[in-house]
Chains A and B, each alone.
Chain A
């Protein structure tokens, strides 16, 4: 299983050496933070930035996970996958390496976003908040990157996947609890937000900040990511053994 790390290391190296990719994936969440977090007039809180930061952190992971989903598909299209599959190492380590890479990359990006948030005025939390926040984001990252990877592998085409991932991420973000508390939502949005898996991650990060350990949300994320990884293993096996 140590090969999982080698695969992830390869991808991280390739990513870090393309500086434009690194910057471009950060542009969106940073813009949200600055333009919406700082500028939006709100009634329910005097520090909207503090309210929106958990949502933006999760958004960062969401877009990192979905955009990373195409990575394994590209390896397949460009022929790397065939070379890896002909090796004696367990084939699943290719998939797990990919999930690990996308999630770690997402964590690096959320760290940068978190630093920007603090820089522009978000409140610094007690130190114990951060490891738990990272754990939540990690679980959410596993969920979303295995989801993206599976969908992309299944679709198999780069532009179709790009369309699908935009189609998924926008509504998911806007119908979550990212932008406003449940109490401020119209009824229909309230229902959507409660059903939305993104809300679980956001609510979890918020409750850590408020001083409670989000047992229910964590349990949800843990089981959802476990199931999602299982599904991706099944699809991956199907795609690789013909």
Chain B
């Protein structure tokens, strides 16, 4: 087994259960661990990379036990943490060369070639000899990817690799990840970006408050939802009572979001429900579900505990008017 297997992996910080009985499996694929902030993604990755010991449960990476065979695990993985860390006073090439040295590639000629190759893979050859200080965020992330590649890991851990990057840089990062997967690597990526996970991951695990609540190929998860998504924009509030078979999901900038088995069939009833409470439907639409809907249905309003602005309270205020 070249990939990752976890078995009821658990991590407690005091009384807080950050990762709760996580059981997952990833092999020769891009596995996207998807969840809101504070759901336990980083904690999971740190346990699997032997930076953190698990409270209970077990896991194997490349067939090695993360608790008993730490150094074997480390010799077959690479890890790019969430917080970007490249030495800004070294050039791109020096940054990668440092990692090659630390990974134990001592032959000078061989190292030079490997470093050049890694830089080439992430398209940084042109800028390799500039100080990293002058790099953009996307370039720094690619440089970190190059650092991770010098020792040809079997399993690659990327913790929120696209966080804080612009659209084009995100695309580039994902294209590189896809290329690496084709070469046979197992890649565990964490993200809170649904569209990215849907587009690029072979398998997605949705994690909420440390629990894995859904797992499968994005298409499979969507099919599983089987429902259609109704968006209603209205000048009034959410009706007190909804028609049979209609579930309220959330309120967002496009209006109230509902799900129903057959969206178009229940739309008239739903409109009537709004009008019964003296509000008008300005706009409504029905569409196929995407991964975001799967995510919203599983995670609900849980948008993470790191966001200081509590929009649930805000919503109550708005509706009480």
* B50 proximity list for chain A (CB < 8 A): 86
**Cross-chain contact of A13 among B77, B83, B90, B103 (Cβ < 8 A):** B90
| Interchain pairs with CB closer than 8 A, number | 64
**Given A6-B98, A13-B94, A89–B104 Cβ distance below 8 Å?**
yes
Asked whether any CB of chain A lies closer than 8 Å to the CB of B1, the reply is: no
* B90 proximity list for chain A (CB < 8 A): 10, 13-14, 17
- A6 vs B75: C-alpha distance when bound (angstroms): 18
- A182 vs B33: C-alpha distance when bound (angstroms): 67
Q: Are B101 and A6 in contact (CB under 8 A)?
A: yes
Q: Are A17 and B89 in contact (CB under 8 A)?
A: yes
- A86 vs B53: C-alpha distance when bound (angstroms): 13
- A14 vs B81: C-alpha distance when bound (angstroms): 21
* A43 proximity list for chain B (CB < 8 A): none
Q: Which residue of A lies closest to B74 (CB)?
A: A88
Asked whether any CB of chain A lies closer than 8 Å to the CB of B282, the reply is: no
* B75 proximity list for chain A (CB < 8 A): 88
Size bin of chain B's contact surface? 20 to 34
Interface residue ranges of A166-208 to B (CB < 8 Å): none
**Given A86-B50, A88-B71, A3–B85 Cβ distance below 8 Å?**
no
* A17 proximity list for chain B (CB < 8 A): 89-90
Min CB gap A134→B, angstroms: 27
Q: How many residues of A contact B (CB 8 A)?
A: 23
Q: Are B101 and A3 in contact (CB under 8 A)?
A: yes
Asked whether any CB of chain B lies closer than 8 Å to the CB of A131, the reply is: no
| Interface bits B67-81 vs A (CB < 8 Å: 1, else 0) | 000010011011111
**Cross-chain contact of B53 among A2, A3, A18, A241 (Cβ < 8 A):** A241
- A14 vs B90: C-alpha distance when bound (angstroms): 7
Asked whether any CB of chain A lies closer than 8 Å to the CB of B277, the reply is: no
**Cross-chain contact of A86 among B49, B82, B84, B106 (Cβ < 8 A):** B49
Asked whether any CB of chain A lies closer than 8 Å to the CB of B102, the reply is: yes
Q: Are B102 and A86 in contact (CB under 8 A)?
A: no
**Cross-chain contact of B81 among A13, A79, A242 (Cβ < 8 A):** A79
Interface residue ranges of A1-58 to B (CB < 8 Å): 2-3, 6-7, 10, 13-14, 17-18
Q: Are A79 and B94 in contact (CB under 8 A)?
A: no
**Given A78-B83, A78-B85, A80-B85, A87–B103 Cβ distance below 8 Å?**
yes
**Given A17-B89, A83-B85, A88-B103, A10–B77 Cβ distance below 8 Å?**
no
- A83 vs B77: C-alpha distance when bound (angstroms): 11
- A85 vs B50: C-alpha distance when bound (angstroms): 8
Min CB gap B127→A, angstroms: 18
- A241 vs B53: C-alpha distance when bound (angstroms): 7
Asked whether any CB of chain B lies closer than 8 Å to the CB of A123, the reply is: no
Q: Are A6 and B102 in contact (CB under 8 A)?
A: yes
**Given A13-B89, A14-B87, A87–B81 Cβ distance below 8 Å?**
no
* A13 proximity list for chain B (CB < 8 A): 89-90, 94
Q: Are A3 and B87 in contact (CB under 8 A)?
A: no
* B80 proximity list for chain A (CB < 8 A): 83
* B147 proximity list for chain A (CB < 8 A): 83
* A242 proximity list for chain B (CB < 8 A): 52-53
Mark A residues whose CB is within 8 Å of B: 2-3, 6-7, 10, 13-14, 17-18, 78-80, 82-89, 240-242
Task: Give 12 A-B pairs besides A79-B83, A79-B84, A80-B87 with Cβ atoms closer than 8 angstroms.
Answer: A2-B106, A3-B102, A10-B98, A80-B85, A83-B81, A86-B50, A87-B102, A88-B74, A88-B103, A88-B104, A89-B102, A240-B51
